[in-house]
Structure 1
Amino acid sequence: MSGQEAADQRPAGRALVEVLAANGVRRIFGVPGESYLPVLDALAEPGAPEFIVCRHEGGATMMAEAHAKITGVPGVALVTRGPGSANAFSGLHVARQDSTPLLLLVGQVPRDMLGREAWQEVSNAWFAGIVKWCAHINDAARLPELLERALLVAQSGRPGPVVLCLPEDMLYDNVEMIAPRAVRPARPAPEGAAMRVMTELLRAAKRPLMLVGGTGWTDDARDRIQAFAERARVPVACAFRRQDRFDNAHPNHVGEAGLGINPALRERIAGADLVLGVGTRLGDIVTSHYESLRVPHPRQRLVHVHVDVDQIGAVHRPDVGICAGVAEFAAALDDVTPDAEVADVRSAWLAAAREDYLRWSEPTHLPGSVQLGEIVAWMSTALPEDAIVTNGAGNYTLWVQRFHRYRRLGGQLAPTSGSMGYGLPAAIAAKLAFPQRTVVCFAGDGCLQMTGQELATAVAYGAAVIVVVVNNASLGSIRMHQERVYGRRFGTDLHNPDFLALATAYGVDARRAEDLDEFVDSFEWARGLGRPALIELRLDAAILKP
């Protein structure tokens, strides 16, 4: 073997890291395991992606998912077999339902033990139904090929999670490879015929409404869609927890089609004569449990734009289906001109919808000194436009979704899957990716305790997130449903720790605020620290929604 050929060989663990780096991966999240020591050793080399050591694999995969959401680069999580991969499932589910490109790398038992249920062995069947693709790399020579395929599958069509299992002994083998290159997923563009039919439907519509959501957004695409909405005088509602897809201060923005939807917006969607769904899957939350858009044939004319052809018509049969990425569709909108004959009618329809939203987003007043609506509304005006707000799941999110106005793309990190515990890992990932931006995590008391140990990760890596804990000593969302159905509650009261003492134990500065004035003082204090901070708000458990 010549010297040149020898130089092209490297251990499989190092080859894996090089392929990831060539594909723009700058940060990997995980919990160390002996099953992938060669990868861990390669990550210690200068120039390798930064390895963020997390406290739980669920937190690690949620961080990787949030990192992908906010950077546009596939998120990568690295976990060990058995218990490690089981813990990672919560993040995989978020990536699946939120259509986020995520690569989970799982250390596996040695190849000669496969199929024997060796210690902590996992199989592809574990991941069936939740990931787009799963494979074992049994031959180190195929590692570059299969790793590039995994990255391509994760980003193609409707993005989502993929899993590669890495047998422990395979990672010690040598791989001969050429310099790796980044994969480039294909993006479908809209067909001219479909765009022409959509244009005719739009010109005839007197009460059109656009629902925007999904993935694949860029600042340019957002600007083009906002310009189109202005020209066409179309009100725009954002899908559940996709509120940063359209500037909430824009006069065409009319609210969020999600949990706790404005009843006026729900009626407006149902009463539209044309619904233009762009990027979103039109799931049960966006359609008010399929009531505002009837299944399978909506009462409204429907245009559905989605990057995955299998999503178009899967539940709702559209009048026009357009298989296209958001960016490609947005570019095609430059040539769409609305009919001036219905301009006045549409202007009145838009103005009424906007007024409904403005009334709905005014803070409500509730019993007690902690007025969560006023706090969120104040924070919305006090934060810079590029601030990032994260949350998990629970009734406390209803205040955030209703009273915070998202101004920039990438300003919201929240799970459409409704996963508790997401807010803190997402905030850490966001702050590591964009250290100069203000990052605020809202978390309920139950939500925070799902992944609260990641406060240690925030401290270890200097992620100066601000955590706002809404403590009502209750699993409020479940309690609300119990009281509605049965008139009583059971199993939803929480015995909580002292959150200030807990935060302090992790090395996080903490305060409690009893009213708006104290919250303002505490928030400004937290912003000036330059390190992680936590603010606790105590809310009466009887207050279940705004």
Structure 2
Amino acid sequence: MKAVNEISAAQALVEQLIVNDVDHIFCVPGESYLAVLDACYARDVKLTVCRNEAGAAMMADAYGKATGRPGICFVTRGPGAANAFAGVHIGQHDSTPMILFIGQIERSNRERGAFQEVDYRAMFGGQTKWTAEIDDGARMAEYVSRAFHVAMGGRPGPVALALPKDMLEERAPAVDCPAAAQIETAPGADSMARLAALIDDAERPLVIVGGARWDEAASREMMEWARAFDIPVATSYRRLPLFDPLHECYAGDLGLAANPKLVARARESDLFILVGGRLGEIPSQGYKLFDIPTPQTRLVHVYPQAEEFGRVYAPALAIHASPKPFVAALASLNPPRTIRWADETRAAHRDYLDFSRSFTPSAEVDMARTMIWLSDNLPPDAIICNGAGNYASWIHRYFRFRRYGSHFAPTSATMGYGVPAACAIQRLYPERLVVSLNGDGDFLMNGQEFATAVQYALPIVVVVCDNASYGTIRMHQERNFPARVIATDLKNPDFAAYARAFGGFGVRVERTADFPDAFNAARASGAPSIIHLMMDPDRISPNANLSDLRAEALSHA
């Protein structure tokens, strides 16, 4: 009789991670899943130990964005899971494949209010594609295999699996499960024929690219098709690297503080082709761009999950396909004999170029000139990571992302994402320059992960834009309650000294002219670095000063 190879459920979990090519785990250790950590001891899986579970979950999200495979995060029960919730929320909004493994109390103590007991199905059910608790250690491989399939399938997203502490120690025969593969959905011939007819009939078409499940080849093929059809293409919110901004068909970023001329083009288009994205609140300009549920334009929606069609906007043509096979199918279409919109495409690109370099000079530190310097001087393969805040509007407007996969930021506008994401991406791409751009309030949400960068010798360059306030909230406050400032001022530490306290490099910048030397010194240090950039508190965005907003609001009061 053939001997049966028995292993623990914890070992089965790690084996299934390895089968699925997981080479990295982000975690904060907890006694509830020590058996899993022990199972990793002699295996070829890198662990990044973080300082807060929110940072660990955000690192897993960034890893999932970069690779298209689920980012893996382990946290302990109760407070650990609560801290990780923010990262799961990002993954759900951003369509990022990720799997959160949560330590859980022993099965025998359920529903007693045991130490750190939580019902994870209730906690995460509305923010994941699937949440489950594994009761039987013999089914570990089955659950983990399913988690990978669910996280990557259709519209990607997060999965949460709770791991009772005693279950992890159960032994059962080893089970072989094949690696999960992402299934691509290709468009049908009839759909492509209908799309061709709509394009032939259009006078003012506009294409928007966004969402997940792209790769570099699909991005390149999209640009080649756009050139052949001479059709204007814009990117959706925080999907800037999907299309080269210097491509002659690029029309700009349909996100926050979008170019008014681009918004007008979208509203006046007679054919709006949305590829890969969902046309959520930000790209739809607060759901005001088109009529709901029937847009005033002919909407073509290309998406890998059928349930999304008609959720907000009823498309004239719904194409159930993921971006890669759809873009490949575009090559079968022939451009119209007469491209009626060619002049409009040229005008759209000129408008983008003008918008992305025009600015009103501000005080000693000018964020527009600083961002333009970064755009012009960083290596082509440099990567930008950022969280949320008004400072990000300068990124969207002035930084020209020339390479696919060079920007990592949450579409949910979650603060504290920039530093954790930069750590994860630097672990993944140690040879590339990774820059984390942050607001002051934004940075201190997860700034403790700078310690993680120091621990693993990750030479990220962190820029902290300090305007001594929660700037976005202050902006809305001045518009709605002018001259009644409350709860938005911040008293900040010396962020350069903060960097040095952790063993990194720190420098303070008070003039735009000093920024290049400071940035170059940070890179030359070879250490994790923080550049403390002192901003004018009045200059709240590329388009507005607080004093002007206040005066306008008071004039209408």
TM-score norm. by structure 2 comes to: 0.95
Whole-Å separation in 1 of the counterparts to 2:430 and 2:360: 35
Question: Which SS does the other structure have where 1:494 is aligned?
Answer: coil
Asked whether the equivalents of residues 238 and 245 of structure 1 are also in contact (C-alpha less than 8 Å), the reply is: yes
Kindly indicate whether residue 398 of structure 2 is the aligned counterpart of residue 394 of structure 1. Answer: no
Partner of 1:92: 88
2:467 counterpart (453, 467, 472): 472
SS at match of 1:121: coil
For the residues of structure 2 that align with 1:528 and 1:504, how far apart are their CA atoms?
A: 15
Q: Indicate how the Cα distance of structure 1 residues 363 and 435 shifts in structure 2: closer, same or farther if over 3 A, else same.
A: farther
Q: What stretches of structure 1 of length at least 5 have no aligned partner?
A: none
Q: Please state how far the C-alpha of 1:363 moved relative to its aligned partner.
A: 4.4
The alpha carbon displacement at 1:173 in A equals: 1.1
Structure 1 equivalent of residue 70 of structure 2: 74
Cα distance in 2 for partners of 1:528, 1:323 equals 49
Cα distance in 1 for residues equivalent to 2:296 and 2:347: 21
**One-letter code of the match for 1:398?**
S
Q: Which residue of structure 2 aligns with residue 210 of structure 1?
A: 207
- In the alignment, the residues of structure 2 paired with residue 363 and residue 46 of structure 1 have an alpha-carbon distance, to the nearest angstrom, of 53
> Is the deviation greater in 115-124 or in 370-379?
115-124
CA displacement at 1:512 relative to structure 2: 1.2
For 1:360, the equivalent position in structure 2 comes to: 355
SS in 2 for 1:153: helix
Identify which of 447, 451, 461 aligns with 2:456: 461
1:267 corresponds to which of 264, 269, 277:
264
Residue 56 (structure 2) pairs with residue 60 (structure 1): yes
Q: Which residues of 2 match residues 154-173 of structure 1 at below 5 A? A: 154-173=151-170
Q: Distance in 1 between matches of 2:6 and 2:76?
A: 26
Matched residue, 1:502: 498
- Hey, what does 2:222 align to over in structure 1? 225
Percent identical across equivalent pairs? 44
- Superposition deviation, residue 504 in structure 1: 1.2
Aligned position for 1:188: 185
- 2:144 maps to which residue? 147
Hey, what does 1:18 align to over in structure 2? Answer: 15
The answer (yes or no) to whether the contact 1:18–1:180 under 8 Å persists in 2 is no
Alpha-carbon separation, structure 1, partners of 2:254 and 2:31: 45
Q: Is the 8 A contact 2:364 2:536 kept in 1?
A: no
Looking at structure 2, the residues matched to 281 and 227 of structure 1 have their Cα atoms a distance apart, in angstroms, of: 23
1:369 and 2:364 matched: yes
Structure 2 counterpart of 1:340: 337
Equivalent position SS for 2:426 = helix
Counterparts of 2:358 and 2:351, CA distance in 1: 14
Note the alpha carbon deviations across 1:460-508, whole angstroms, 9 max, x for none. Answer: 0111100011000000000001111121322100011111111111112
> Which residue type is aligned with residue 177 of structure 1?
A
| Matches of 1:437 and 1:523, distance apart in 2 | 15
| Structure 2 CA distance for aligned equivalents of residues 315 and 12 of structure 1 | 43
Letter in 1 for 2:128: V
* Contact 1:365–1:371, Cα closer than 8 Å, also in 2: no
User: 1:180, CA displacement in angstroms?
Assistant: 4.1
Question: Which one of 481, 490, 503 corresponds to residue 486 of structure 1?
Answer: 481
User: Which position in structure 2 is the counterpart of 1:543?
Assistant: 539
How many Å separate the matches in 2 of 1:65 and 1:444?
20
SS in 2 for 1:19: helix
Q: CA deviation at 1:364?
A: 1.4
Q: Which residue of the other structure, out of 319, 323, 334, is the alignment partner of 1:322?
A: 319
- Counterparts of 1:206 and 1:378, CA distance in 2: 38
* Greater alpha carbon shift after TM alignment, 522-531 vs 329-338: 522-531
SS across alignment from 1:138: coil
Preserved contact between residue 29 and residue 63 of structure 1 (Cα < 8 Å): yes
What secondary structure sits across from 2:541 in the alignment?
A: coil
Q: CA RMSD in A?
A: 1.1
TM-score between both structures, scaled by the size of structure 1: 0.97
SS in 2 for 1:193: helix
Point out the more displaced range, 526-535 or 491-500.
Answer: 526-535
Q: One-letter code of the match for 2:450?
A: L
Instruction: Specify the SS of the correspondent of 2:540.
Output: coil
SS at match of 1:211: strand
Q: Secondary structure at the match of 1:189?
A: coil
Shifted more, 484-493 versus 194-203: the winner is 484-493
**Matched letter for residue 486 of structure 1:** F
Runs of 4+ deviating beyond 4 Å: none
Contact persistence 1:363–1:374 (CA under 8 A): no
1:449 pairs with one of 415, 426, 444: 444
The aligned residue for residue 35 of structure 2 is: 38
- Contact residue 391 and residue 422 of structure 1 kept, 8 A: yes
- Aligned equivalent of 2:555: none
Contact 2:498 / 2:506 at 8 angstroms: preserved in 1? no
The corresponding residue for 1:277 is: 274
Q: Structure 1's 509 and 493: CA in aligned 2 closer, same or farther, altered over 3 A?
A: same
Query: Do the aligned partners of 1:235 and 1:254 also contact (CA within 8 Å) in 2?
Result: yes
Q: How does 1:287-326 map to 2 (within 5 A)?
A: 287-326=284-323
C-alpha displacement at 1:233, in angstroms? 1.2
Matched positions, count: 540
Q: Quote how far apart the aligned CAs of 1:46 are.
A: 3.6
* Counterpart-to-counterpart distance in 2, 1:21 and 1:363: 50
> SS of the counterpart of 2:475?
helix
In structure 1, C-alpha distance between the alignment counterparts of 2:67 and 2:447, rounded to whole Å: 24
Shift of 1:11: 1.5
Equivalence for 1:411: 406
d(CA) in 2 for partners of 1:179 and 1:20? 12
